Amino acid sequence: MKVIVIDRLTKVYRSSWFGRAPTPALDGLSLSVQQGEIYGFLGPNGSGKTTTLKILMGLMQATSGGAEILGKPLGDVQVCHRIGFLPESPYFYEYLTAEEFLAFYGHLAGLERAELGRKITQLLELVGLAEARTRQLRKFSKGMLQRVGLAQALIHDPELVVLDEPMSGLDPVGRKQVRDLILSLRDQGKTVFFSTHIIPDVEMICDRVAIVVKGKLLAEGRVDELVNPGHAQSVEVVCEGIKAGEVAAIAAVATRVLQRGEHSLVVLPGPEQVEPVLSAIRTQGGKLVSVTPQKGSLEELFMKQTGATPTGAGRSATVGGSSE
């Protein structure tokens, strides 16, 4: 069953300034989310992720196109109680305690007092805030606020949970806690649709992912299918006892050779070059240390699709851009 269906969704922001061209935020976006899966909506800031979620939640109207949630068209009030939503920048009543905050939203959802009390205790334990239930929210850290926000989104036991940048601004411990919570929601049979620009989180927990840039869908599918679409992967061969770069048979097929003391690192474009290189190593009297296939990554796919530059040094955890 398809829980979310987005069909050629387009959103254009009209400028109030005379002569300024309209700004397209979404450009014919189409995708679908299956029941019981974790679906990652990946893109840099400014790619249209928040705009998409606001349209799905009825907080904004699309310029054209349409969408369905839980088999109903957008705006159908009958499905509202079946959806849990955490916006990117939620507002918290900072002088309420955690349990008062959840009780407020529980009453809005129509929960009875006895049921609500049990639900609050259960959710605070689930998000790791049981010991902070009587603490005012103004004393919460960023990660604690994010987790109590998640508890709020789950107070009415929704079938579909929609999260806008749930890991943004969290430290590694907080991100792990949120990831574990999302995985537990899938184990309960719920569907989770969340937007993010943090690539490793998508790789670790998502069943399927969509990559969107400037309002356009560039790729959609399972992570393993996207990062390994039938193309040959590179292979690293490490040997010792020879200078691999000076062996003609190796230099002819290698894309890169590094010499570090007695060890040579040979990078090959694909697995079909491995056997000739191993034969050359043996012929020259060298010793094989390791052969390591290099798995493709979602970050590499993103870079290839968009030409975006990851922030920071080394393997980046996010893809940057302007504010959304």
Spatial separation of the C-alpha atoms in residues 297 and 318, rounded to whole Å? 13
Domains annotated for the chain, with CATH where assigned, are 2-227 (3.40.50.300), 235-293 (3.30.70)
Spatial separation of the C-alpha atoms in residues 290 and 110, rounded to whole Å? 62
- pLDDT (tens digit per residue) in 105-145: 999 888 888 889 999 999 999 888 999 999 999 999 888 88
Handedness of CA 249, 254, 256, 257 (dihedral sign): negative
- pLDDT (tens digit per residue) in 42-96: 988 888 999 999 999 999 999 999 999 999 998 888 898 899 999 988 888 899 9
Spatial separation of the C-alpha atoms in residues 55 and 162, rounded to whole Å? 12
Lowest mean pLDDT among 51-65, 94-108, 217-231: 217-231
